[in-house]
Structure 1
Amino acid sequence: MSGDGHEGGRRDDEVRGARRIPGPRGAVDDLDLETVARPVLPPPGGSAPDEAVPEQGVPEEEAGLADEAEDVAHEPDEPDQPEEPDDPDPAPEPPHAVTPADSAPAALSHQVLKALLGAWALSACSAEETAAVEDHLTACAPCADEALRLRDAVGLLHTDGSLDLDPALRSRVLDGCLGRRPARVPIPEWATAYDAETARLDALLRDIGDSDWHAPVRLQWFEDERAVTRRTTVAGVIGHLMAVDGLLSAALGLDDPLAGTGALGTAEVNAGAEVPLSPTRRTETYWAATYPPATRAVREPWRALTHELIRTASLAGRNVAERSVSYGEFALPLQDALLDRAFECWVHGTDIAEAVDYPYRPPSAAHLHRMIDLAARMLPAALAGRRGAGLAGPPKELVGAGEPGRSVHLEVEGHGGGDWYIALDSPAAVGSPDRAVAQVALDGVEFCQLVAGHISPVEAAAGQEGDREAIRDVLFASASLSRL
């Protein structure tokens, strides 16, 4: 291999075009360096021979100086005036220097150019390769389509936006899969929100580190006309979700998860009456039994329970949707109880995400709409309960079951929004647009934060019109739906 930089550059370009795996500009990543000798730079005053190797035992620098001295000793005496050589040797070039002859795009094959598309999308090609690829894209439609797809994929690598995927993406992927191969036992439509929200929360939990499971989380709800807070950890939140999910386990004939934690003895579980039904009591029982505090080990039993609930509900058939699930002070049909659990998974998933600084989006519009609808259907009973406790104004009309009565028009805007008419005077009455005495407008996520007790009723409403007392009663009733 000659010491001339042009020859070294030519061979290197040939190898780059045939075997190069794109890397940083000018790099040859897949080149066997042992098979290519480095060009030898000439010593002062002359060019190097093809294989300039200094004599063994003599340092390379000293050998060069000795050769130079010997050449000078054999030269005849010449005048001191320098002479211009007829054809001076060109200055040695680095191995990867680009000469004018090399500046034009290399004539690369279609397969080589196609292999460079990934590096081109990442802006990792050399200038010559970039020119060759872009020239090829103007004439090759398949490669142009592939290049566009790769550039879109590169956009997902940017970290300046949210790292959380669109909540609707999972639904679209599942719909596409089920369109090709229908499920042998499909998940009921009323259980899909719980399935989606437990999967999203589990994805968040997989991404956090061991230390994040001990990060402090502030739980907040509305009780006795004021905000109440409770501090726990990420692991404590998942234990809370598992403890309350046990209410659905009992309704479906499954084992109570509290029994596996040691929070309840076998006799207590078998007796039934000793098992706490209130979500708050169940959570306190679990937290008291798990000391030292729970760690990430709680994720596996919680996720196994969510899978078992969905599987059992799917196999049980249509009649199970109306099976009653007792919460102690109230009861919900199973289809509403699973929707309630989906809502709590989202709310507490947001609490966890804020504690560990992780992006977390609201549910899909369809699932959020169902959650809002459940809260709106529960409001007449909540109003009646507050009225019985002297926390709301007395009814102004006597309305029979199924008859239209006074109502408040609840207008929920934005994501998952809609219109609901909340009966004011009786939980058995029907809210009627013709009998609306007031209107209140809120954003969909804001209404859910009110129902979760994360914002106060005074701060919630964006727009109010009509009977102020009726509006106040509806907003405070919405906040009263929250709990630990």
Structure 2
Amino acid sequence: MTTEHDAVRDLLAAWALGALEPADERTTTAHLADCAVCADEARRLRTVVRALDGSPADGTAFDEPRPGRPGPPKAPPAEPASAGPRADGPPTAVPARALRRRSAAPAVAAHAAPYAAAVAGLSGLLPEAEGRWTTPVVHDWDVHATVAHLIAADEPLATRLGIDTPRPLSGIEADADWDAAWNRRTGELIAHEHGRTPAETVAAWSAQAGALLAAPEARDPQAAARAVTLMGMRLPVADHFLVRGFETWIHTDDLGRALGLTVPPPPEEHLRRLVRLAVRVLGAALGPGAPAVLFSVTGGPEWVLGSDAEPVRAELALDPVDFCLLVGGRYTPPEVPRGATGDESAVRNVLERAASLAWL
């Protein structure tokens, strides 16, 4: 039998985000006045939200899986498709209220909005990991390690923007290959954070994410226009914020599936920005010598990828979320649902090159 105490605990994440319905708000407020345990948990959750300096905004709740979505997150090709045991039973909508509205940092520019929403989404999900921090997620990471990885993933941009990152200094040589250096840094920070409590790791990730969203480059498109090289990609800082939003959402989805929850895709406008960036990166990776393919995403524009000096040899259409999951390494080329006509080898070349971009 569910008690009032249990019911209110299920509402605390939504309360911290300011996303409760009026009736639930009244019930929760009255309970917090009398229950020290729930009041302490509520203060902790609101501290995380305030660290991000967020305010409620409309969004989408956790819901049922989309048809055709891939299974558990993929490890590198040499590893089995399953990254570890999943939570028992189908995905649940337990924290739906927590993400009925997405929190976003105030006054961020459009280029930083996808990252702000992804950070807020992960903040709303993490309370569901309580007591399950050792659940396998992706690669050889558990929930705790996945949050630690996101600290490492955000660190290059934070460092470039002059944000203090008070963690053990990296012993990696400055001229090291970027992906080898990145993997080593992830390993360093996971080992460091496994020596701390999950709450401390979450606080460290939240503080760094909040500092990124408070940086001038997150709020001023002109300040974010300068190009810098991070993770082997020379892009404007604005696009590196999009990359951070992309990765944070992908790993939130990993965590949700590991915990038996379904994470919604980014809002439509954010998804369009992520798709456009991924198409630009994919086009550069294919180069002008690749067979020309007319590529489109459902409900979106079309692009010609590859040679612009030869006739189009094939047409390829993907759902925008599926395209992002392919680029993020959560689909393999044979798995991803697609509509395709024409030269199968040209289509396969695009899909394989898109999948090769994944480093998450």
Q: TM-score, normalised by structure 2?
A: 0.66
Q: Distance in 2 between matches of 1:443 and 1:197?
A: 20
User: Are 1:408 and 1:422, in contact at CA under 8 Å, matched by a contact in 2?
Assistant: yes
1:298 equivalent in structure 2: 201
User: Are 1:457 and 1:476, in contact at CA under 8 Å, matched by a contact in 2?
Assistant: yes
1:6 equivalent in structure 2: none
Instruction: Please report the RMSD computed on the Cα atoms of aligned residues, expressed in angstroms.
Output: 3.1
**2:142 counterpart of 1:233:** yes
User: Are 1:451 and 1:478, in contact at CA under 8 Å, matched by a contact in 2?
Assistant: yes
Q: Distance in 2 between matches of 1:166 and 1:439?
A: 40
Secondary structure of the 1:190 match is: coil
How many residue pairs end up in the alignment?
A: 269
Q: Distance in 1 between matches of 2:213 and 2:193?
A: 26
**Which AA in structure 1 matches 2:329?**
G
Q: TM-score, normalised by structure 1?
A: 0.50
**2:295 counterpart of 1:410:** yes
Distance 1:474 1:160, change over 3 A: closer
Cα deviation digits, residues 433-460 of structure 1 (max 9, x gap) = x953311122222111111111111222
User: Are 1:409 and 1:422, in contact at CA under 8 Å, matched by a contact in 2?
Assistant: yes
User: Are 2:218 and 2:238, in contact at CA under 8 Å, matched by a contact in 1?
Assistant: no
2:174 to 257, 265, 273: 273
1:420 shift after superposition = 2.8
Cα deviation digits, residues 334-385 of structure 1 (max 9, x gap) = 111111111111110011111122232111111111111111111122224x
**Which AA in structure 2 matches 1:373?**
R
User: Are 1:407 and 1:424, in contact at CA under 8 Å, matched by a contact in 2?
Assistant: yes
User: Are 2:294 and 2:305, in contact at CA under 8 Å, matched by a contact in 1?
Assistant: no
Q: Distance in 2 between matches of 1:410 and 1:168?
A: 33
Secondary structure of the 2:133 match is: helix
User: Are 1:453 and 1:482, in contact at CA under 8 Å, matched by a contact in 2?
Assistant: yes
Q: Distance in 2 between matches of 1:318 and 1:354?
A: 34
2:257 to 326, 345, 354: 354
2:346 to 463, 466, 470: 470
1:166 shift after superposition = 9.3
Distance 1:168 1:438, change over 3 A: farther
Distance 1:316 1:369, change over 3 A: closer
User: Are 1:323 and 1:333, in contact at CA under 8 Å, matched by a contact in 2?
Assistant: yes
1:371 to 251, 259, 274: 274
**2:306 counterpart of 1:424:** yes
Distance 1:167 1:466, change over 3 A: farther
2:123 equivalent in structure 1: 202
Distance 1:233 1:334, change over 3 A: same
**2:335 counterpart of 1:459:** yes
User: Are 2:111 and 2:221, in contact at CA under 8 Å, matched by a contact in 1?
Assistant: no
Secondary structure of the 1:331 match is: strand
**Which AA in structure 2 matches 1:208?**
A
1:25 equivalent in structure 2: none
Q: Distance in 2 between matches of 1:294 and 1:263?
A: 20
Secondary structure of the 2:297 match is: strand
Secondary structure of the 2:102 match is: helix
**Which AA in structure 2 matches 1:480?**
S
Matches within 5 A, 1:266-345: 273=174, 277-278=178-179, 279-292=182-195, 295-313=198-216, 317-345=220-248
**Which AA in structure 2 matches 1:326?**
T
1:101 equivalent in structure 2: none
Q: Distance in 1 between matches of 2:345 and 2:242?
A: 30
2:110 to 189, 194, 219: 189
User: Are 1:408 and 1:470, in contact at CA under 8 Å, matched by a contact in 2?
Assistant: yes
Distance 1:456 1:307, change over 3 A: same
Matches within 5 A, 1:208-219: 208-209=129-130, 211-218=131-138
Distance 1:349 1:316, change over 3 A: closer
1:217 shift after superposition = 1.0
Q: Distance in 2 between matches of 1:408 and 1:165?
A: 42
| Greater relative CO, 1 or 2 (CA 8 Å, sep 6+) | 2
Q: Which one has a bigger Cα radius of gyration?
A: 1
1:190 shift after superposition = 0.8
Q: Distance in 2 between matches of 1:276 and 1:470?
A: 30
1:423 shift after superposition = 2.8
Distance 1:423 1:347, change over 3 A: same
Q: Distance in 1 between matches of 2:224 and 2:284?
A: 21
Distance 1:317 1:481, change over 3 A: same
Q: Distance in 1 between matches of 2:235 and 2:300?
A: 23
Secondary structure of the 1:458 match is: coil
Distance 1:191 1:168, change over 3 A: farther
**Which AA in structure 2 matches 1:217?**
V
**2:319 counterpart of 1:443:** yes
**2:277 counterpart of 1:395:** no
Q: Distance in 1 between matches of 2:100 and 2:240?
A: 22
1:473 shift after superposition = 1.1
**Which AA in structure 2 matches 1:421?**
W
Q: Percent identity at matched positions?
A: 31
